[in-house]
Amino acid sequence: MAKYVVKRLLLIIPIILLVIFIVFNILNITPGDPATIILGKDAPQEAIDQLNKELGMDKPVMQRYLKYVTDAAKLDFGTSYRSGKSVSEEILSKFPTTLKLAILSVIVSSLIGIPLGIVSAIRQYSVLDVTLTVSSLFLASVPGFWLGLMLILIFSLMLGLLPSNGIGSIKHYIMPVLTLGLPSAAFLARMTRTTMLETMRQDYIRTAKAKGASKSRIINKHALKNALMPVITMLGMSFAGLLGGTIVVELVFGMPGLGSTIITAIKMKDIPIVMGSTVFLSILFMIIMLIVDLIYAFIDPRIKAQLK
Amino acid sequence: MSLLEIKDLEIIYTNGKNVVQAVNGINFTLDKKETLGLVGETGAGKTTTALSILRLLPERTGKIINGSVNFDGIPLLDLNEREMQSIRGARIAMIFQDPMTSLNPVLTVGEQIEEALMLHNIDNESKEEITKRVDEILTLVGINPERKKNYPHEFSGGMKQRVVIAMSLACSPELLIADEPTTALDVTIQAQVLDMMEELKQKLDMSMIMITHDLGVVAKTCDKVAVLYAGEIIEYGTFEDFFINKAHHPYTEGLFGSIPSIEDDAERLTPIEGLMPDPTELPEGCKFHPRCPKCMEKCKTEKPKDFIKGTHSIKCHLFAEEEN
């Protein structure tokens, strides 16, 4: 197992090199150079050329790529063109907000989604099941910004219960987390229901029934572990996705997180920030996927056997 | 009194629109220590009949619309779910067709056998005693008890079926229903498993219902045979009635005829022509008449009765004529 983990961690290196290469080239072929954006269109050409030279933009792309990679290996990701702060500092100051949002959303969505999905499967076609199906379809199809605005309308403007903006207290996180968590809970509930129904149709469930096991025992002991495996993958993916993708919610609720930082950086052609966050999120994504695989192995002995 | 008595059993599957008449009035009895073979093609209603005894038909679609199942004097169809649970696994156990899928992949085989014992722990045995029982049962089916810590995927097909058998025998049931226990296994393993089941049956004084489409298996294991066609028993009798007696239902003759013989120099097998009728639209009269080589006018309109001679009963007009 330890060997497998080391192997997977080492595999991150070539993948990251490739990711950096691709992003580097994409940034290179997009129009506009950083100096023009920093100094403005009306700045004299000499000043722009001068700044571009200072930023190293006059060198060929491969050379810049190699320099970036060697610097990154020393954990130096450069400084932001805009703020002049180091990239690591910039990312690490914004990341906690996003991380909190992502963790809370995943917790909320699994606490709501998984139990509802299970109940829905056990009571297939009941009133509860139909209600859940309809409401999850609704939640899964409304766009995040709309849900966020509706929550603000109800809880901030009409009821005055929750702050609409900022990150001061835990109260500030309630609506953003619901905005992210509810649609995700809806997806999870649908998925749990499907995999649960699928599992309940398996032969080994019939075997357990033939042994004389009660319905609740069959669900808890025989079905859940098998049914939740695809759900865990989905949770891992959505967690990883949330880390880089809470932009809409960050904008709607005025939260200074990583998502809005990346968007601004792309607009401003702040290359070091874009590169730095890409590398950071890619590594994070791969580590989360590794953890998901390890959880898998923990649950399913067949996968554990493969990891040896 | 017989151990199991099934009367006029009728079962349908329905999805709201279509109605599949899976079992259409089945009667049979099984005495203590007897083995009954249920023989028939795929879709004849063998498994449905077996599942209905344990009340394990698919909840939403399968319905028992008529008949009774009496087990040791208990009307099984009238029991509530909790009473039924105390019978399943304890007094009536079932072995399913495919050992590859009938064990839970995430539990060790030891846990799965142990569960059967824990669920019906009437004598309040301690954890150690149950563990000892698991070891005994595994030894009984020829598996090293040390392997109880292994998961199903670490066993071969034949070994898995042994585990399934061990699990079903854990509580020494009075009746064992074996639904094609050897179909998914290769021929050499088949023989081993059948021998083992026969031996255990003697040792534990069980009755058994052996569901199969293999007449070889029937010849090897059964005291009584029931041939099912389109949800009806078309021929029913003792081992002698089938394998010594010459009078048979044309369908049974077809089954015997389709077995390849070692001596004959035949180029092709002789199958029964045609297919089983669509169970949503069963034919009028005798259900076998569209495929029957000896079909008469009468067969197309009039349902044949059971013509009984001693222990042997045949549902066919041919024998009515003989009687007259």
Taking an 8 Å cut-off on Cβ atoms, the answer to whether B88 and A225 are in contact is no
Pick the last residue of a domain from A35, A62, A87: A87
Taking an 8 Å cut-off on Cβ atoms, the answer to whether B168 and A210 are in contact is yes
Taking an 8 Å cut-off on Cβ atoms, the answer to whether A211 and B87 are in contact is no
Same domain for A188 and A46?
no
State the pLDDT confidence band at A260, using cuts at 50, 70 and 90: confident
Per the DSSP assignment, residues forming a β-bridge with A79 are: A86
- Please list the alpha-helical segments (H only) found in chain A: 2-29, 34-39, 45-54, 61-73, 87-122, 127-141, 144-151, 171-200, 203-211, 215-217, 224-244, 247-252, 258-267, 271-299, 301-307
The SS3 call for residue A43 is coil
Q: What is the CATH number of the domain that holds A214?
A: 1.10.3720.10
Pick the last residue of a domain from A87, A122, A147: A87
Task: Report d(CA B269, CA B249) in Å as an integer.
Answer: 20
Distance from CA of B137 to the nearest CA of A (A): 15
Same domain for A22 and A165?
no
Which residues does chain A have within 8 Å of residue B168's beta carbon, measured at their own beta carbons?
A: 210
CB-CB neighbours of B18 under 10 Å? 12
Counting Cα atoms < 13 Å in the Cβ hemisphere of A182 gives 22
Same domain for A116 and A68?
no
Same domain for A124 and A194?
yes
Query: Quick one: pLDDT at residue B211?
Result: 93
B194 touches chain A (CB under 8 A): no
Same domain for A233 and A120?
yes
Query: Quick one: pLDDT at residue A224?
Result: 92
Which residues does chain A have within 8 Å of residue B93's beta carbon, measured at their own beta carbons?
A: 210-211
Residue with token string 């000892």? B132
Percent of chain B surpassing pLDDT 90: 51
- Tens of pLDDT, residues A5-61: 899 899 999 999 999 999 888 888 887 777 887 787 788 888 888 888 887 788 888
pLDDT > 80? residue A245 = no
Which residues does chain B have within 8 Å of residue A214's beta carbon, measured at their own beta carbons?
A: 82, 85
Tell which of A198, A200, A207 to mutate to test the B interface (max B CBs under 10 Å).
A207
Same domain for A72 and A113?
no
Same domain for A264 and A230?
yes
Percent of chain B surpassing pLDDT 70: 99
Read off the pLDDT of each residue in A134-158 and give the average, rounded to a whole number: 90
State the pLDDT confidence band at A308, using cuts at 50, 70 and 90: low
Same domain for A82 and A97?
no
Read off the pLDDT of each residue in A145-159 and give the average, rounded to a whole number: 91
Give how many domains chain A has, as a whole number: 2
Which residue type occupies A302?
A: R
Counting Cα atoms < 13 Å in the Cβ hemisphere of A18 gives 5
Distance from CA of A250 to the nearest CA of B (A): 41
Distance from CA of A87 to the nearest CA of B (A): 46
Pairing of strands B312-315, B306-309: antiparallel
Taking an 8 Å cut-off on Cβ atoms, the answer to whether B119 and A213 are in contact is yes
Q: Which domain covers residue A108, as residue numbers? A: 90-307
Same domain for A60 and A72?
yes
CB-CB neighbours of B265 under 10 Å? 5
Task: Report d(CA A272, CA A86) in Å as an integer.
Answer: 9
Same domain for A155 and A63?
no
Percent of chain A surpassing pLDDT 70: 99
Phi then psi dihedrals of residue B171, to 5 deg: -100, 20
Q: Are A110 and A258 in contact (CB under 8 A)?
A: no
Q: In what order do the strands lie in the sheet with B74-75?
A: B19-30, B4-14, B62-71, B74-75
ipTM for this model: 0.87
Pick the last residue of a domain from A34, A52, A87: A87
Same domain for A180 and A156?
yes
Q: Could you give the domains of chain B? A: 4-91+176-271 (3.40.50.300), 103-172 (no CATH)
| CA B43 remoteness from chain centre | 13
Same domain for A51 and A176?
no
pLDDT > 90? residue B257 = no
pTM: 0.82
Provide the chain A residues 212-241 that lie in CB contact (below 8 A) with chain B: 212-215, 217, 221-222, 225-226
Tell which of A124, A211, A308 to mutate to test the B interface (max B CBs under 10 Å).
A211
